[in-house]
Structure formats: structure tokens, C-alpha cells
Chains A and B, each alone.
Chain A
Amino acid sequence: MTDTTTSTRAEVCVVACAEIFRGAGEIMASPMSPVTTIGARLARLTFEPDLLLSDGEALYLAETPALGAKSPIEGWIPFSKVFDVVASGRRHVVMGANQIDRYGNQNLSAFGPLQRPTRQMFGVRGAPGNTINHATSYWVPKHNARVFCEQVDIVSGIGYDKVDPANPAFRFHHLHRVVSNLGVFDFGGPGHTLRALSLHPGVSADEVAENTAFEIAGLAEAGETRLPTEEELRIIRTVLDPKGIRDKEVTL
């Protein structure tokens, strides 16, 4: 048995990120940060052995190494071929978000007006293509009302209110989970709005509400995020992240 005295918030987040991929099968898992990468690798080492994982550059990893470590490879995935995978739908990406709204619209491009922003970030990157083609989840290491806002400035990743039901081109859109440092969410609320699935041990509904600019469905009823098993803790601590990089990403 494990409890909160033996597993940290970051480890709970890693397991919640691994759970994103439960049932994913033989697809490319594309995590975009340390905690989500540890999560995807944990999933492959436990309940999703057929996931494909890349080194984040151009190689498919045959084994499941620690963060930053080398591994034998099993294939080649240069950027041009990533776009082929995106269009094929056989992928689940976990992106970050500077902003995310109740319908799952996400922004990582810039703040302010399109042609004259107040702050410039990356531009839309692959977010429009990811969200319309295959499963997409989000990871927010610092859950606050600036990120979980009423309205995003620039829609990079498309939310449920952008889906045109009359146009079958939108039929692959699926936002699976949002994992933050406070809890696990999906878009199963009324009209595909953000819904609380579980709060991490020690997190109250009030704390989540105070740090979110809109009402979250099911917040009062949400249970507790499951704790890592002994085996998961062992893998996280000794195999995947012995240097504790996860703790630098997760804000308490």
C-alpha cells in the first residue's frame, strides 16, 4: 500500500498522465514535457506496451529509457513523417497550454490581437492539426485562472464549440483529458464543457474553483485521483526519473 506520505504530488501527476494513454493501443504517444513524458513511458512499461514513443526528434525508441537517456531504436520518424502520422489519426498528443477555456479551446500562440499581439509565444505550431485529427490531451503544471480562462486569445487547439456537426471533416476531434497539478478533468460536462474527474490527494474543490475562471462541472462530486502503486513508484523513481526532474515541473 502507498499513501500521500510516500508519493508526492508530482508522482500522482505522472500516474494521471500515464492514465491518459490507457486503452490507446498501438499508436504514437507524443508527450511534450517531462512529466507527460515520464507518464507515457510509465504507461508503456506497465499497461500499454504497444505504444510508440519517439526521442522527441526523429527516432522511435525500442526500449523505454530514463528521461534524457539513450535507448536502442526501432524506427525513423522525421518531422515530415510526423505530419503523415497526424493525418492518419494514429496518435495521442499531450500538449501544454498558455490558455484553455471551458470548451477546450487552447492557446499556445500569442496573447492579444492576431496581427499585433501583446506577448508572442510559439505561434499555433501543430495544435490545429493535432486537435482536428486525433486524440489530444493537455497538461497544465500550474493550474490558475489565467490559464483556465473564460476565453482564449487565439484558438490554436480547437475546442468542442468550434466543431461543425454538419461537416464530417471534424469527426476525429477528441479532447481526452486535462491533467493539472490539482486534478484530472475531461470535457464530459454539459455541452462538452470541462468536468472534474478527480482531484489530487490534498486538493479541495474550493482550491480548484478559486484557480479557474469558469465553473467546472462535477467539481463537488469529484473523487480523489488514484495513488501510484508500489511498482509504479519504483519505476518512476528508479527507472524513468532517478534525478527527480518531475518535481521541478509540478507546482504545489
Chain B
Amino acid sequence: MRDKRMSLDDVVGELRSGMTIGIGGWGSRRKPMALVRAILRSDLTDLTVVSYGGPDLGLLCSAGKVRKAYYGFVSLDSAPFYDPWFAKARIEGAITVREMDEGMVKCGLQAAAARLPFLPIRAGLGSAVMDFWEGELKTVASPYPASDGRTETLVAMPALNLDAALVHLDLGDKHGNAAYTGVDPYFDDLYCLSAERRYLSVDRLVETEELVKAVPQQAIILNRMMVDGVVEAPGGAHFTFSGSYGRDEKFQRHYVAAAKTPESWAEFKATYLDVSEDEYQAAVRAFATQEG
């Protein structure tokens, strides 16, 4: 069986500017942040991002990497809730958005996973979602009238086909089998099923035998067919949470505060972003010590 181990920068080396990239996790929960940081270190740009957005989307916006975003929401999940860099990009009109209902993201990924052009869904009808999509979102009428002879017209959610998917899980092997260990798988399996190229980071890389002993079978949400590259990235979801550590609330607040002025952001960027992942993790440990 193929050994799919790669480095963070190897993964980014396989991505191209202009790609449509799906980012797993949810809000500030189990985001592939180490992979996002690796994109920030690269010259990739002009990305279309599909996400249940959190600081992943925020950081990409901070570096001007995003041209277009498809999302159900963008949230940091704890105060102050609104991501400052996403907000700035929006207020400046720097990104085009295809905002949608949260359920439409799942629906669009399911369509892509099943290689369908669309799936019908009720969510979105009557709302501003139709306007956000500027003609890209259409409706479909049922060929089966109801018993009263009337016909339901629903949103035809288009497939969210991805060039690449980036996800982070707690535990995986070098072949791409992987499991979550928290309370929620989120939609990481669907992102992988919807993408041409699938990249996984894991907090802990283990042998297959250890993986299957460590978790219930139902928690192994990725199999080898769903993954092209595996990166061992301990703390790779930081400052969002993963199965084995909580969200770093202090650091997330630091991220938000740093976004307030160009000077504070320059300092944040120099300390945490213009550095390798190892240096990032060391700086984060120093921050935790300093903050007590």
C-alpha cells in the first residue's frame, strides 16, 4: 500500500493559484490550520474557498489569497464571534461571496460526492441567498405533482466540486485511513469525496493496527480511496480544537486583537505566520507560558 506521507509545504506545492479549495472542520473547530498557515507562506493566490468558515477563511483573507468564497457562515464560535479579517475583506469588497444556508453547503458537497450536477433542497427559497449568487443559483420543479396537483419548485443546489480538499483529523495512518476522536465528524468525509486532490493532516500518525484499535469503527471516516496525501502535524488544528486539545481561546482572542491595527498585525505575522510550523508551535507555547 502506498505511503502517502508528505510535508505541509509538499501539499501546498501540489496546489495552484485559482483553484477551488474546500476546507474541512467547522467555524473554529478542527480546522486544518497548519495547512492554512502553509498556504500563507506560499505564493498561492486567487483561491476560491468552500468552507463552514472560521479563522481559516480569516487568515487566508488576511493575506489576500481569496478571490471568491462559498460558505454557510463565518464564525469564531466564541467572543467576539465575527472574524476580523473576513469582515475586512467583505467591507472592502475584496472578495466575491456565494453565501448560502448551512444545509446548502452539505447538499452541494453531497451532490459533488455523488457526481450529480445538483440536488434539490428547500433551504434558500425566499431568502437573500438567491441574490448572493447573482444568477448562479437556479430552481428546479418537481416532475411529480403533489396529490392536489400542485408542483413544488425547489432550489437546485449545484455540486460544490473541489479541485482540492484540506482536512485535519486526530488520528490517521500513512495510507490515508483516519479517524476523529471528538464529538463530531463535521463534514470532512464529504469534502474529501467532493475533491480531485485530498490532503489530510493528523495530530498523530500511527500504524493502521493502532488506529483501528484506538477508536470505534464508526469514527474512521476516511479510507484510502479518499486521501492523496497525509501530513503528520501535531497541534495542526491550533488555535481551533481537535479531539485531544481544546480551542486556545486566549490565542484566538490575541489573533482578533492583533488584526486591529497594521502595527499589531505586522508583529503577529512576524511572530506566528512568517515562520515554519515548528516555529509557530514554539511561539504558541511561549505565548501560553507568558499568558499563564
A residues touching B (Cβ–Cβ < 8 Å)?
57-59, 76, 78-80, 83, 86-87, 109-110, 114-129, 131-133, 154-158, 162-164, 166-170, 172-173
How many contacts A-B (CB < 8 Å)?
A: 147
Query: Is the beta-carbon distance between A109 and B126 smaller than 8 angstroms?
Result: no
Query: Is the beta-carbon distance between A170 and B72 smaller than 8 angstroms?
Result: no
Give chain A residues whose Cβ lies under 8 Å from the Cβ of B126. 128, 131-132, 155, 158, 162-164, 170, 173
B residues touching A (Cβ–Cβ < 8 Å)?
26, 53, 71-75, 81-82, 86-87, 90-93, 96-97, 99-104, 106, 121-129, 131-132, 146, 148, 150-154, 183-187
Bound: A83/B96 CA distance, A? 26
Bound: A202/B218 CA distance, A? 55
Bound: A125/B129 CA distance, A? 11
Pick the contact of B103 from A119, A126, A154, A169 — CB < 8 Å? A126
**Taking the nearest CB of chain A, how far is it from the CB of B45, in angstroms?**
20
Identify the closest chain B residue to A164 (Cβ). Answer: B126
8 other contacts beyond A79-B102, A119-B87, A129-B121, with CB at 8 A cut-off?
A57-B184, A78-B186, A120-B90, A125-B73, A129-B103, A132-B124, A156-B128, A168-B150
Query: Is the beta-carbon distance between A115 and B123 smaller than 8 angstroms?
Result: no
Query: Is the beta-carbon distance between B132 and A168 smaller than 8 angstroms?
Result: no
Give chain A residues whose Cβ lies under 8 Å from the Cβ of B148. 168
Query: Is the beta-carbon distance between B124 and A128 smaller than 8 angstroms?
Result: yes
Bound: A104/B72 CA distance, A? 21
Identify the closest chain A residue to B77 (Cβ). Answer: A57
Give chain A residues whose Cβ lies under 8 Å from the Cβ of B104. 128-129
Give chain A residues whose Cβ lies under 8 Å from the Cβ of B185. 78, 80
A-B contact pairs, 29 of them (CB 8 A): A76-B183, A80-B186, A80-B187, A87-B103, A114-B99, A116-B92, A117-B91, A118-B91, A122-B75, A122-B81, A123-B72, A123-B99, A124-B99, A124-B101, A125-B72, A125-B102, A126-B123, A128-B104, A128-B125, A128-B129, A129-B103, A129-B124, A132-B123, A132-B127, A154-B128, A155-B127, A158-B125, A162-B127, A169-B153
Bound: A170/B151 CA distance, A? 11
Query: Is the beta-carbon distance between B82 and A120 smaller than 8 angstroms?
Result: yes
Pick the contact of A128 from B90, B91, B101, B146 — CB < 8 Å? B101
Bound: A158/B75 CA distance, A? 21
Contacts A133-B123, A154-B128 given; does A58 touch B90 at CB 8 Å: no
Give the top 4 A-B pairs by smallest Cβ distance, nearest first: A129-B123, A162-B126, A120-B87, A116-B93
